[in-house]
Each structure stands twice: as C-alpha cells, then as structure tokens.
Amino acid sequence: MVLHLDMDYFFAQVEERENPRFKGVPLVVGADPKKGKGRGVVSTCNYEARKFGIHSGMAISKAYEACPEAIYLPVNMELYSRVSENIFRIIEKVSEKYEKVSLDEAYIDLSGLAENYKQAERIGCDLKKLIFKKEKLTCSVGIGENKMIAKIASEEDKPDGLKVVKAGDALKFISQKSIREIPGIGPKTEKKLEIILEKSGLKIKDLRAISKKQLVDVLGKRGEEIYKNVRGEDDSEIDLKTKTKSIGKEITFDQDTLDPEKIISTFKNLSQRVAGMAKTEERPIKTVVVTCRFENFNTYSRQVSFKPRKPTKGLIYKKGAKLLLKLLAKKLKPVRLLGIRVIFDESDKE
C-alpha cells in the first residue's frame, strides 16, 4: 500500500498562517501584477482566488484581470523551504520509507506499517493531525495499492481530505476520472488520444477501448504505461533514494533593463534565496549555473564546476556573478530574465 501526501495550496496556506488577515480573501502567490506589464505567473493561490478561475501557471496579468482585488504576494522560497523541512521531519517520524516529490508532496511506503486499509487510514489520519498540530497547516492524503491510485485519491477531497481506495475498488474509482488525472498525461498527449478515439473530454474508462499496440504506435514506450494505468495498474516504485539534483530560482523583470545596479542587486537576491533553499538539503554543491534572457528572447546559460563545497550565499554569488558579468559584457542588450541554479554533488562527500 502507498500513501500520497499533498499539502493544500502550500505557498498560499503558509502565507495565511503567517498573516491570519489573509484568510478568507483571495490570495495569489507569484509575480506582482501591478508593476510593468505584469510579467510572470501564478505560483499558487488559495481557494478563494480559485473561485475567480485563477490557477497555478496562469499568467499573472490574467489573474489580475480576473480578480484585481486579490492580495498578490511574492514567492518567499526561504520560508516555504523551512516549513517543508519541518513537514518532512514529521513524515520521517511516521516512516523513513518515503519519496520526496517536491517541497509539498511525498509518497510513503506503508508496507510493514499497515496490514490492512483500516490501519492505513489510521496512519493517514494521525499524520494529518500531527502536521496540523506542529505546523498549523492542512494536507490531503490518498491511500491506494500503488502510487497512481494514491495520487488520484489525494485529489478527491481537497482541501484537508483523506481518501482510501481499496485494491478491489481501484478500477471503478478511476473509471469516471478525466484522463488528465493520470500522472504524466498533459495536453499534447490528451490531444493525440482524442484523435485516436475521435472524441473529446475523455474519461479514463474510454482509453480501455484502445489496444496496447495503438497506444505504443502513437506514444511509444509511454503507451505501454498508459495501457496499464487506465486499468488501475502502476509498476513505478517508491524511490527511497530520491534526492534533489539541483535547486534554482529565476526572475523576469517588469521591464527589460540595462541598469547594472538593478541587475546586480536582483542577482544577489536570487543567489541568497538559492543558498537558503540549498542549505535545507544539507549537501555540498559542485556547480553553479547562470541563465540570462535578453530583450530579443535569446537565452544563454553558463556554468562553472568546482570541488564540492557547502552552499553558502557568498560562494554562490561569487561564482555566479563572474559568469553573469561575462554574459552581460558580451551581449550588451537589455536583460529580460535572470536565473541561477546550483547542482549538488551526488557523491555526498565534502
């Protein structure tokens, strides 16, 4: 059995916890829509904002059009990373057999912990209560025979939900779900499948009419996975060794700029934020990567590798600034976007 834990509207919920006056009103975490042309996207938003059609990945300008009275906050990644670290410490008290998918999402292997679904549900309830007690945050939990079923189940009763899908009920449970709820199926794959069946708005049950050969012919190896997925099967295992390979941040300027003071101060701030995020991994870094996009949308990346060292803000900024200055000197064009990323040393030796 597998338990999938997903923190509810994580960034926005953390902001509500830190500032109770934000509760009950539309709250959007992302870029500032009032500056320049409102570039950037929505990172996440609370459920009050979702009532206006706002969602993650939406252009911030569109979000502002939909709800100009919402509260718009910048992403505070250092804060969210600290909270995430606390949450995973709580998870480790329940089980060390888990896979960290992101700051706010994890799969937990319940083998050896639960002999039946009733015990699994109790573990899920206890985990939710512990997280709320320690962090004052809600999460949604799904429990199923495999990762896919558990993930779809966790979406069933958001926010603050808990859904258990027993092995014998899995096929019935997913039949009426949209095919987009199968992890990994995006709009392009959806379109290809709709063409095969000459039908839109496909449900998972509809895909069972497509043979494995047809799926493989159109989607390659991914077709074999989907053939199993629509039958409630998922062979993917919980990766207990999963570690973040890299961490980075980028920012799109409100207006393209050649102002060296603005560029450098922004880059320094990005470096500090990346350093704060990297420290939570408690691993050395071996590479710094800098990305710069200019007004003509041409994007360039440069990187430097070195002997693995602790990810201090001084080290990251110093290494990154040298790369950035070389890019700026060579291109001499207004900058649209800046980004910096660090790559961890996978040997874990300092």
DSSP string, 73-115: E---HHHHHHHHHHHHHHHHHH-S-EEEEETTEEEEE-TTT-S
Assess whether 297 and 281 both reside in one domain: yes
CATH of the domain at 123: 3.30.70.270
Q: Which of 76, 94, 127 is the last residue of a domain?
A: 76
Residue 61 placed within a domain: yes
Q: What is the mean pLDDT of each run of 10 residues along the chain (350 residues)?
A: 97 95 94 70 94 92 94 89 92 90 93 94 97 97 97 94 96 93 86 88 91 91 92 89 78 86 91 87 92 85 94 94 92 89 74
Residue 49 lies in a domain: yes
Q: Is 15 a catalytic residue?
A: no
Whether residues 70 and 83 share a domain: the answer is no
Where are the alpha helices (H) located in 198-331, listed in sequence order?
212-219, 221-229, 260-279, 313-331
Q: How many residues does the chain have?
A: 350
- In whole angstroms, give the CA distance from residue 276 to residue 124: 31
End-to-end Cα separation, the chain, in angstroms:
37
**Cis peptide before 260, with omega less than 30 degrees from 0?**
no
SS3 at position 182: coil
Considering the domain boundaries, does residue 240 fall inside one? no
Domain boundary among 151, 172, 193: 172
161-170 tens-digit pLDDT: 999 999 999 9
Q: How many domains does the chain have?
A: 4
Are residues 143 and 111 part of one domain? yes
Residue 105 shares a structural domain with residue 166: yes
What is the rounded CA–CA span in Å between residue 283 and residue 287?
12
Task: Please state, in angstroms and rounded to a whole number, the distance separating the CA atoms of residues 62 and 41.
Answer: 9
> Which residues form the domain of 193?
178-229
Burial 18-45 (b: 16+ CB within 10 A, else e): eeeebeeebbbbbbebeeeebbbebbbb
Q: Is residue 59 part of a domain?
A: yes
For 44-80, the pLDDT digits (tens) are 999 999 999 999 888 888 999 999 999 999 888 889 9
pLDDT value of position 350: 38
Which neighbouring-strand residues pair with 30?
42
Residues 250 and 339 in one domain: yes
Is there a contact between 186 and 173 (Cβ–Cβ < 8 Å)? no
Same domain flag for 205 and 168? no
Residue type for position 81: S
Q: Which of 78, 105, 121, 233 is catalytic?
A: 105
Q: Do residues 250 and 340 both lie within one domain?
A: yes
Same domain, 303 and 321: yes
What's the rounded Cα separation, in Å, for the pair 165 and 154? 10
